[in-house]
Amino acid sequence: MTELGVTATRNINDLPFAQDRSRAWRELREAGEAVSSGEEIVLTSAAAVEFAAKRPDVFSSARAFDRLGSPVPLIPIAIDPPEHTRFRRMLDPFFSPKKMAEREPELRRQAGELIDAIVAAGECDVVPDLATPFPSQVFLTLFGLPMDDRDRLVQWKDSILQFTDPSSAEATPEVLAHAMELFAYLTDHIAERRTDTTGSDMLSQLMRDTEGGMSDNEILGLCFMFVLAGLDTVTSAVGFSLAKLAADADLRRRIADDFSLIPAFIEDMLRVDGPVPFAPRVTTEEVEVAGRVVSKGTTVMLSYGSADRDPQRYEDADNVHIDGKAVHFAFGRGPHRCLGSHLARLELRLILEEWHARIPDYTLADGNEPRMPWPTGTMALKSVPLIIRPS
């Protein structure tokens, strides 16, 4: 009999995520804690994922993101300690809860404007009408870039992610072409900002206020990281959240009647349907994890999505709860924990508050739960049409 977690294999691309996410995660975990999928090893349990996430010396990020085609290292997710520690020490103050709170009035206004347009139209598909434009506007606002470039930014991001091959460690020609367009755009704006760093936007502050200042390539890497890792994730979370509430009348009424429940809802929604199913690492030495010996140079996928539904860690793990404080994996673990977690929480809270202030009653347009395409790098619903009943 095959010992689970040691020699089990399962192609993650064949799992039934498009039909039933709970069943797909369950089938993956049932294959074991360390599962072979092609040339990769997938860690599925909360314990195994946590072990690897907290050992960047063995499970390296430095080579794990080459497939995204960035011409410079993605700062800070593709940098290992101790250099990673230096970047986090510089960057964390810019993304602290206090700093993010300073941005709240402007970002709340923008969220309200997008939702007002939905109310005026009388109908809505959450993904293109709200979940996609808002995080792109947030990026442009934070970095002081022209708001007129929003749709171009979305197109670059979508094109790069569309042509990214998750099974390859190298960027495809299409990814490289679109990445270079985005690279040129960001390079021009960084060069302009170098001539005047007196602004209050984050781009100016990073040039002016970090210890020794960040180089152009380092700032480019940070911008690439935000575009490729920070926009789709918020889009995903908004889509999953409003789809869940549209399908659950009791939960929707509780949220609409008491906004203080929104933060707890966000946290457990991220746990149950987090945007990042797998985070890649490359082993720097032979290591044993979950009873399996993994050779040096192996791509290991840390399955945050599976860990977040691990029944050994979470009670009633497949369902959303708003009465507890479960610590989830959606923002990662260890030194590479998401730099923008406080910003993401702010964006989601503002969307849910402004939405329910205007549209407390809504349902799924076709009465069916929206489906998610699979395989995909970011778990997300491509369309969430709603019937809205504005207040």
SS (HEC) of 263-301: HHHHHHHHHHCCCCCCEEEEECCCEEECCEEECCCCEEE
Q: Which residues contact 83 (CB under 8 A, 6 or more apart)?
A: none
3 belongs to a structural domain: no
159 belongs to a structural domain: yes
Measured between alpha carbons, how far is 334 from 328 in angstroms, rounded to an integer? 12
Considering its fold, how many domains does the chain have in total? 1
- How much is the pLDDT for 32? 94
What CATH number corresponds to the domain at position 333? 1.10.630.10
267 belongs to a structural domain: yes
373 belongs to a structural domain: yes
Q: Which residues contact 355 (CB under 8 A, 6 or more apart)?
A: 115, 130, 242
Nearest to 224 by CA among 174, 285, 175: 175
- How much is the pLDDT for 4? 38
30 belongs to a structural domain: yes
Range picked from 85-89, 188-192, 367-371, 381-385 for highest mean pLDDT? 381-385
The burial class, CB within 10 Å (0-12 / 13-18 / 19+), for 385 is middle
Question: Looking at the predicted structure, is the pLDDT value of residue 166 above 70?
Answer: no
53 belongs to a structural domain: yes
Measured between alpha carbons, how far is 38 from 10 in angstroms, rounded to an integer? 8
- How much is the pLDDT for 171? 62
| φ/ψ of residue 265, rounded to 5 | -60, -45
- How much is the pLDDT for 63? 79
187 belongs to a structural domain: yes
The two tokens of residue 28 are 């993956």
Question: Looking at the predicted structure, is the pLDDT value of residue 388 above 80?
Answer: yes
| Other Cβ atoms closer than 10 A to 368 | 8
For 27, the domain range is 12-389
Question: Looking at the predicted structure, is the pLDDT value of residue 168 above 60?
Answer: no
Task: Quick: pLDDT tens for 206-254.
Answer: 888 766 668 888 888 898 888 878 899 999 999 999 999 999 999 999 9
pLDDT band at 67 (very low <50, low <70, confident <90, very high): low
Nearest to 274 by CA among 227, 242, 316, 237: 237
Question: Looking at the predicted structure, is the pLDDT value of residue 29 above 80?
Answer: yes
CA dihedral 365→158→90→281, nearest 10 degrees, is: 100
